[in-house]
């Protein structure tokens, strides 16, 4: 057997064990079906719902907020991060602000956002953006401030105008770090959008979970959870694909 296949098999084992444990808890009567539905029932329900328009509508609502918030976070994070790395004056302002704002639990700001921006998309998108912003900003900043000085000197010696150095040297050199930050930001966006929808919402996956919990439909509680996990995996692998495309020719880090 080749080693790659071996690794995959080894990785599937705990997932299979986890599912087996889940099933056996029910089969041997440790957990009543009303409290813990069997995995088969959950996946069956997921399969049934996956192609109904209602469910797709919920996913679309969640994805819209997720992408909007994440997109804002990427744009702002990269711009502010680059600016702080390039200009000492901006750095002096941004650094203490980030130090203070990064450890604040953003979920606690959600009530304020609700009161100011209302119960619609805007408050949720802002929350997602606020949470995803800092990892992207910080990794852009570190990536850009660690660009080798020699690279910049060579570019200048080759006659690159100063204004273009930012886009032709610093940005590409910081790209691996920026993409790592984006990856963290993406996972956070998944988590936060779900939580925001759980707190106040009329649609979206988080709302589905709360709705199911209120009516004690345990099967329906598991479906949105599994869906967000799979969405996270899919988005993550898309980002990974983008990374391999953008970083082609880079030495493997």
Q: What is the DSSP string of 36-59?
A: S--HHHHHHHHHHHTTSHHHHHHH
Cβ proximity of 238 and 60 under 8 Å: no
The residue within the footprint of other proteins, chosen from 60, 75, 79, 101 (CB under 8 A), is: 101
Q: Does 105 bind other proteins (CB under 8 A)?
A: yes
Assigned token pair, 66 = 């997720």
Cβ proximity of 199 and 213 under 8 Å: no
Stretch that binds other proteins, among 56-64, 73-81, 133-141, 166-174 (CB under 8 A): 133-141
Q: What is the DSSP string of 218-238?
A: HHHHHHHHHHHHHHHHHHHHH
Cβ proximity of 159 and 79 under 8 Å: no
The residue within the footprint of other proteins, chosen from 73, 178, 179, 194 (CB under 8 A), is: 194
Q: Does 162 bind other proteins (CB under 8 A)?
A: no
Task: Report the site for other proteins in 19-48 (rule: CB under 8 A).
Answer: 31, 35-36
Q: What whole-number distance in Å separates Cα of residue 26 and Cα of residue 38?
A: 7
Q: Which is nearer to other proteins, 103 or 159 (CB)?
A: 103
Q: 2: which DSSP letter?
A: -
Half-sphere exposure of 22 (CA within 13 A, CB side): 16
Q: Which is nearer to other proteins, 100 or 157 (CB)?
A: 100
Stretch that binds other proteins, among 57-65, 71-79, 160-168, 220-228 (CB under 8 A): 220-228
Write out the residues near other proteins by the rule CB under 8 A: 7, 10-15, 18, 31, 35-36, 92, 95-109, 111-112, 114-116, 131, 134-135, 138-139, 142, 180-181, 184, 187-188, 190-192, 194-195, 198-199, 206, 209-210, 213, 216, 218, 221-222, 225, 228-229, 231-233, 236
């Amino acid at each position: 057997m080749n080693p790659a296949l071996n690794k995959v098999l080894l990785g599937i084992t705990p997932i299979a064990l986890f599912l087996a444990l889940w099933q056996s808890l029910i089969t041997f009567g440790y957990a009543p079906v009303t409290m813990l539905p069997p995995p088969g029932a959950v996946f069956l329900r997921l399969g049934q719902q996956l192609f109904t328009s209602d469910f797709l509508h919920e996913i679309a609502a969640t994805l819209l907020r997720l992408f909007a918030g994440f997109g804002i976070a990427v744009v702002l994070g990269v711009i502010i991060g680059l600016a702080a790395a390039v200009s000492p004056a901006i750095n002096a302002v941004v650094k203490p602000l980030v130090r203070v704002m990064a450890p604040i639990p953003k979920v606690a700001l959600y009530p304020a956002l609700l009161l100011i921006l209302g119960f619609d998309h805007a408050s949720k998108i802002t929350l997602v953006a606020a949470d995803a912003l800092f990892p992207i900003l910080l990794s852009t900043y570190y990536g850009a401030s660690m660009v080798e000085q020699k690279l910049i000197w060579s570019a200048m010696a080759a006659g690159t105008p100063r204004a273009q150095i930012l886009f032709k040297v610093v940005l590409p050199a910081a790209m691996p770090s920026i993409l790592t930050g984006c990856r963290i930001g993406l996972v956070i966006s998944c988590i936060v959008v779900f939580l925001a929808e759980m707190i106040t919402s009329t649609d979206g996956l988080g709302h589905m979970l709360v709705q199911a919990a209120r009516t004690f439909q345990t099967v329906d509680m598991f479906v949105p959870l599994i869906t967000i996990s799979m969405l996270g995996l899919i988005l993550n692998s898309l980002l990974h694909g983008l990374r391999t495309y953008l970083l082609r020719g880079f030495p493997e880090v």
